[in-house]
């Protein structure tokens, strides 16, 4: 059975992706931040995944730290035997205008959102390269495509992910590894809940479909990208925003 790793999968989009891939028949390795609260949520997600008859295990790791990612990937490979799909979903926001943004706030978002993608792709591509197969999906954002006031750090991290996605797609295509990105818009998650009502209203007004997206709608696109139906798609960024950019 194929195995998928999903980072930041204790809640929100990551949890929905884990459950959707379990429904598709993937064994799932659920990464969560090493805290009691995140562990409890991840264990609940794993139980829901197992209901589909697959293997699901939880792995605590701060994915911004290379050594923790290295240990986690080693354990997942030992536990599951193969790593066939990687979904880099872990992310945080620390929003403020550039004039008020401290170096610490900038660096924290870059470390979690962008450095984690480097860490995980470098380690997992070593496994996939030997297998000569694999599928990677990186969760970017419309902020990485168009920018967003108060999100210089977040936009920078998500734009970097797009460049990394295209580079890895070119480097590893010869080994039958695809690498794509999804760019969600205004999705109903705990992360968007913290945005101001004013900003959410302004963004919603710009959405052609005039509604929030749901995490399940992101998960369905990820499901496609890690399936054999997407075997000839790589280096692409799929915007899932209800027409936000039009």
Give the helix ranges, DSSP H, for the chain: 12-23, 36-50, 66-80, 103-110, 116-131, 142-146, 152-172, 190-193, 197-205, 215-225
**Rounded average pLDDT over 73-98:** 97
What was the pLDDT predicted at 200?
Answer: 79
The mean pLDDT value for 211-226 works out to 97
Please tell me the distance from the alpha carbon of residue 10 to that of residue 89, in angstroms, as a whole number: 11
pLDDT at 124 over 80: yes
For 88-115, the pLDDT digits (tens) are 999 999 999 999 999 999 999 999 999 9
Residue 245 pLDDT? 75
**pTM for the full model?**
0.95
Other CB atoms within 10 Å distance of the CB of residue 99 = 5
pLDDT band at 85 (very low <50, low <70, confident <90, very high): very high
- For the ranges 63-72, 148-157, 203-212, the lowest mean pLDDT is seen at 203-212
- Residue 199: the pLDDT is 76
- Give the pair of three-digit tokens for residue 49: 């995944």
Higher pLDDT, 204 or 16: 16
The model's confidence at residue 150, banded by pLDDT at 50, 70 and 90, is very high
User: Residues 156-209: pLDDT tens digits?
Assistant: 999 999 999 999 999 999 999 999 999 999 998 876 777 778 877 887 899 999
Give residue 55's pLDDT: 98
Neighbours of 182 (CB within 10 A): 25
Cα–Cα distance for residue pair 2/84, rounded to 1 Å = 6
For the chain, report the end-to-end CA distance as a whole number of angstroms.
Answer: 40
pLDDT over 90 percentage in the chain: 89
Domains, in order of start, for the chain: 3-240 (3.40.50.720)
Active site residues: 154
pLDDT at residue number 190: 74
Q: Is 90 exceeded by the pLDDT of residue 246?
A: no
Average pLDDT, the chain: 96
């Amino acid at each position: 059975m194929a195995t998928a790793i999903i980072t930041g999968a204790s809640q929100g989009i990551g949890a929905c992706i884990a459950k959707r891939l379990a429904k598709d028949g993937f064994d799932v390795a659920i990464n969560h931040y090493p805290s009691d609260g995140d562990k409890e949520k991840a264990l609940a997600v794993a139980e829901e995944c197992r209901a589909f008859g697959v293997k699901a295990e939880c792995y605590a790791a701060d994915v911004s730290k290379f050594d923790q990612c290295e240990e986690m990937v080693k354990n997942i490979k030992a536990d599951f035997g193969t790593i066939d799909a990687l979904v880099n979903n872990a992310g945080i926001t620390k929003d403020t205008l550039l004039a008020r943004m401290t170096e610490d706030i900038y660096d924290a978002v870059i470390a979690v959102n962008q450095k984690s993608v480097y860490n995980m792709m470098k380690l997992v591509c070593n496994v996939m390269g030997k297998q000569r197969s694999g599928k990677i999906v990186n969760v970017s954002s419309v902020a990485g495509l168009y920018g967003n006031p108060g999100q210089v750090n977040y936009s920078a991290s998500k734009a970097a992910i797009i460049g990394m996605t295209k580079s890895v797609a070119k480097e590893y295509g010869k080994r039958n590894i695809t690498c794509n990105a999804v760019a969600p818009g205004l999705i109903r998650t705990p992360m968007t809940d913290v945005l101001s009502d004013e900003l959410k209203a302004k963004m919603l007004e710009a959405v052609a479909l005039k509604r929030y997206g749901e995490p399940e709608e992101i998960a369905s696109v990820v499901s496609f990208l890690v399936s054999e139906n997407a075997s000839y798609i790589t280096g692409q960024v799929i915007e899932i925003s209800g027409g936000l950019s039009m």
